[in-house]
Amino acid sequence: MAGCCGTKDQVVARAQDGGPLEHFAGQVQNCLAYARLRKSQGAPVVGIMCEFTPRELIMAAGGVPVCLCGGSAEMVEPAERVLPANLCPLIKSTFGYSLEKANPFLEMASLVVAETTCDGKKKMYELLGQRHPMYVLELPQKSRDADAFEHWVAELRKLRKELEARFAVEITDEKLKEAVVVMNRDRRLKRELAGLMQSACPPLTGRELLGMRSLIAGLPQDHEQYSKAAAWLAGREIKPAAGKRVRVLLTGVPLPHGAERVLGLIEDNGGLVVCQESCSGEKPVLEDIDIDAPDLLRALAAKYFHLPCSVMTPNDRRLERLEALAGEYRAECVIEVVWRTCLTYDIEAQAVKALAEDKLRMPYLKIETDYSPSDNARLSLRVQSLFETVKGRQGCNHG
């Protein structure tokens, strides 16, 4: 069997170049510098809260879309002075950043674009709207309903007009096309990077892969890093060796920057997260926009309307994709993360469990938690127990 180590030339090349991992370690500062520069040049910084927001429209309006989802446990307590404690930590942390004025991107944002997804977010936006300029898209949630899709198209046309009026620009089809080209490239590069995890000997951990994201998508310097990532990572070995770890398909809620704890915990206990299906992983990048479509805004609307989020009903696309991803990434088990009080993902977990156990014949574990590390020990035990089950099955299969 070929070794996993790089050639001497590759190792020398890596020693001279910090490579993509080092580049993305500084992503927050890189994004901050970029946003400040663009703002000083007159470009509006626009906060987004969810993967349903089409970044392309904001970019075509000359704006800089920045993800504002809060991942800090420290921001939860300030938020609980206003919001109910019994609320998803992602919502609380995002709002806590506003109360504490601790997110420089939010503070410099000329506008925040959000949408009606889950109830907690929707109602938090009303409070956020008292503190920052907000625009809320109405997301229709019947995924198979033609009228619902037409409503979504109309909502995006309204957003287009809103951005044009607010920023005194015209969003021409040409500008929209340019933005779609950038974001299609962004999605393709991220898919290629994630695809490296399909190998029997992946060159990076799931934690490292998750770290190779920026709060601002589509940055030229990030694209340059993604382009050279495969060559740079060729032959790289992770420790402990990939072959000794349990291959995990991770699904459920997104893990925003700062909230990577559960993924780290899975990998510290002998797992290797080979596929991340959530919104902080592959979910938003699996479908592109047809650049040659006669009505580009409609094509844009279709891509986003297809996003298999648990707020949509029914959400069978998620199950179809999970099944395909489990095969492509040769997963050995499924772990689902649900932020405490996230009703939509929690209820949908039943269908994911049934898919994993009954159809894919794989062990499944649901982890319901929040941003506090207080349950680390308990979760570690549950993860270890899952991995024992996987290894027990491997033993049976090989016996």
Residues binding ligand SF4 (CB under 6 A): 50-52, 88, 90-91, 117-118, 120-121, 253-254, 279, 307, 309, 311, 339, 342, 344-345
Phi-psi region at 42: left, alpha or beta (left = phi > 0; alpha = psi -120 to 50): left
Q: Which is nearer to ligand SF4, 249 or 311 (CB)?
A: 311
Compute the distance between CA of residue 47 and CA of residue 109 in angstroms, rounded to an integer: 6
CB of 130 to ligand SF4, least distance (A): 19
Contact between residue 184 and residue 34 where contact means Cβ atoms under 8 Å apart:
no
Residue 336 CB, nearest distance to ligand SF4 (Å)?
Answer: 12
Rounded to a whole number of angstroms, the minimum distance from the CB of residue 270 to ligand SF4 is: 27
Q: How far is the CB of 50 from ligand SF4 (least distance, A)?
A: 3
Residue whose CB is less far from ligand SF4, 229 or 338: 338
**Shorter beta-carbon distance to ligand SF4: residue 175 or 213:** 213
**358, 364 in Cβ contact below 8 A?**
no
* Cβ–Cβ under 8 Å, residues 159 and 135: yes
CB of 91 to ligand SF4, least distance (A): 5
Q: Write b or e for each residue in 328-361: b if 16 or more Cβ atoms lie within 10 A of its Cβ, otherwise e.
A: ebebbbbbbbbbebbebbbebbebbeebbeeebe
Q: Looking at beta carbons only, is 94 or 205 nearer to ligand SF4? A: 94
Q: Which one, 189 or 309, has the nearer CB to ligand SF4? A: 309
Q: In what order do the strands lie in the sheet with 271-276?
A: 271-276, 246-252, 333-339, 364-369
The residue (of 121 and 245) whose beta carbon lies closer to ligand SF4 is 121
> Omega before 65 cis (within 30°)?
no
Nearest distance, CB of residue 8 and ligand SF4, angstroms = 43
Distances (CA, A) of 218 to 22, 57, 161, 181, 214: 18, 13, 23, 10, 9
Q: Based on CB atoms, which residue is closest to ligand SF4, 204 or 216? A: 216
What is the DSSP code string of 16-27?
HS-HHHHHHHTH
Minimum CB distance to ligand SF4, residue 347 (Å): 11
Q: Residue 159 has which token pair? A: 């957003």
Residue 94: CB minimum distance to ligand SF4, A: 8
| Element holding 107 (H helix, E strand) | helix 104-108
Instruction: CB nearer to ligand SF4: give 73 or 90.
Output: 90
Nearer to ligand SF4, 21 or 113 (CB): 113
Buried b (16+ CB within 10 A) or exposed e, 178-200: ebbebbbebbebbeebbebbeee
CB closer to ligand SF4 out of 106 and 229: 106
The C-alpha atoms of residue 31 and residue 25 are separated, in whole angstroms, by 12
- Going by C-beta distance under 8 Å and a sequence separation of 6 or more, which residues neighbour residue 193? 209, 212, 226, 229, 230
Q: What is the nearest approach in angstroms of ligand SF4 to the Cβ of residue 292?
A: 26
| Three-class HEC string of 272-321 | EEEEECCCCCCHHHCCCCCCCCCCHHHHHHHHHHCCCCCCCECCHHHHHH
In angstroms, give the least distance from the CB of 387 to ligand SF4. Answer: 25
